[in-house]
Amino acid sequence: MKNIPTVSLFKVFKNRKNILKNPLPFHNANFERLGDVFNVNIGPSGAILFTRSSEYIKQILQTNHKKYQKSTLQTEDLAKYIGKGLLTANGEHWRTHRRMVQPAFHKKKLEGLLGIMSQVIQTELEHIPPNGSLDVLPLMGDLAFQVVAQSLFSRDDIKDEMADLKRITEINQQMLIREMRQPYMNWWFKLSGEIKRHLEYSKEARAILNKIIEERIASDVDKDDLLDMLLKARYEDGAPMSREQLIDEVLILFTAGHETTANALSFTLFLLAKNKEVQQKAFKSAAKVDLENENHLENIGKLSYIKQAIEEGMRLYPPAYYIDRMSTEEDQLGEHTIPKDTMILLAIYELHRDANFWDAPEDFRPERFDPKNKKDLSNYYYPFGAGPRMCVGNNFAIYEMVLTVAEILKKYELHTILEEVEINPLISLRPKEVFLKFIPR
């Protein structure tokens, strides 16, 4: 890696406040100055390789994925708060549980959850004040959280427990971000007891989920929801998941399942509010569909333009704005030899705005994703990752977002005075505030 330019530890430390707040401008400046691949020195623990090269990203995620795995950012740092499940595991442990969890997200299984999803969306959208202006991020956060909760547990009498779970998830995420962006402070986080305190919060979250699981088992009622599917999942020897593993998987479904969807919805609604022509076209698409009937999957199929708008929103604001990997053996990326145990961050946000692949990359153009216009985007579009570790809940998220945007546009015209939305990159890419006005149609 000697021929790869390096950002010094001094430069990192000098920009530490800006990096903690939002690292994307710092990394963008380095990409513009140094090219599509560079190292960042982070002190005694070594360096991190950053790349926005479409060729390298495809090789790492797809064509040569066997030489890479999730990095310690997820398998250790994130896992200590949410356990070892699909998102945070590697190797045989991950492969085994992927096989067990995958059937729960098969399209036919999801079809059975669409009624629950639709009802929750309609209920949560009742909180919109007509003609009022509100920050849609908390609204979308509550909506997405309740969709996951209802799809998992089929219960509407645990809102207090779910509120506690959501609060703990957000508190621990803030702590994890500090650990990741200030690795030189980790000694203090441990010494001061901050990490220990947040691990206690995680125990609270696990106790909440364990109680709900206990109540389901005691009820002896088959609800055919995601929890039932996980309870019925079996290893090859016929054994069920341990309780600890089951809680790990449920906690990860909550964490990953609501946050990314809420963020993507908030960004997409902002883009629709800002682009009146696109919003009108999306409204006309929704107006033709009777969302009150029970043919939810058929309805989603008719809302193709709204799906395109969501896909374009995730291009401009990808939930997984960076994807982490660790090399498990030496590999060759173009002219660069990558040693074993190299941590790599794949800059999806940068790739999604690369003018080499996207015409007018800063513009919001849903037509890019029209099947008539769409080229093979698999080389430079990764809203849900790619390869064997592509997000297992991608269809669940798309269905939820399409139904939500359609319900909103049928009832409201969206307005905003914001020119741009300020981003707040945490575990996933989120906006700081998205104030919109909802005018009843």
Q: Which residue matches tokens 């009146």?
A: 276
d(CA 223, CA 155): 10
Is residue 136 one of the residues assigned to a domain? yes
Long-range contacts of 357-361 (CB under 8 A, 24+ apart): 357/54, 358/315
Task: State the DSSP H helix or E strand holding residue 411, giving kind and residue range, or none if neither.
Answer: helix 394-411
Per-residue pLDDT tens, the chain, 441 aa: give them. Answer: 678 999 998 999 899 889 888 999 999 999 999 999 999 998 777 889 999 999 999 999 999 999 999 998 889 989 999 989 888 999 999 999 898 888 888 888 888 889 889 999 999 999 998 887 899 999 999 999 889 888 888 887 888 888 898 899 889 988 998 888 888 788 899 999 999 999 999 999 999 999 999 999 999 888 888 899 899 989 988 999 999 999 999 988 888 878 899 999 999 999 999 999 999 999 999 999 998 888 899 999 999 999 999 999 999 999 999 999 999 999 999 999 999 999 999 999 999 999 999 999 999 999 999 988 767 787 899 999 999 999 989 999 999 999 999 999 999 999 999 999 999 998 899 999 999 999 998
Pairing mode of beta strands 322-327, 343-347: antiparallel
Q: What Å distances lie between residue 395 and 110, 184, 386, CA to CA?
A: 8, 39, 14
Rg (CA), the chain: 22
Does residue 338 fall inside a structural domain? yes
Q: For the chain, how many residues are written? A: 441
CATH number of the domain encompassing residue 250: 1.10.630.10
**How far apart (Å, rounded) are the C-alpha atoms in residues 170 and 165?**
9
Q: What backbone phi and psi angles, to 5 degrees, belong to 167?
A: -60, -45
The residues, ordered by sequence, that sit 6+ positions from 202 with a Cβ below 8 Å of its Cβ are 80, 81, 82, 168, 172
Distances (CA, A) of 138 to 4, 133, 435: 42, 13, 11
Quick check: is 1 in a domain?
Answer: no
Any domain includes 66: yes
The answer to the question of residue 392 being in a domain is: yes
Nearest in space to 45 (alpha carbons), one of 198, 174, 177, 180: 180
User: Could you tell me if 334 and 55 are in contact, meaning their C-beta atoms sit under 8 angstroms apart?
Assistant: yes
Number of CB atoms found within 10 A of residue 419's CB: 6
- CB 37: neighbour CB atoms within 10 A? 23
- Decide if 145 is inside a domain: yes
Task: Please provide the DSSP assignment of 168-185 as one string.
Answer: HHHHHHHHHHHHHH-GGG
Domain that holds residue 393: 6-440
Say what the pLDDT of residue 374 is.
Answer: 66
Structure tokens at 420: 């741009």
Is 68:90 a contact under the CB 8 Å cutoff? no
Q: Is residue 381 part of a domain?
A: yes
pTM comes to 0.92
- Give the Å distances, CA to CA, from 92 to 28, 238, 246, 335: 36, 17, 17, 31
Query: Hey, what are 275's tokens?
Result: 């682009």
Q: What's the structural domain count of the chain?
A: 1
> Between helices 304-316 and 243-274, what is the axis angle to 10°?
100
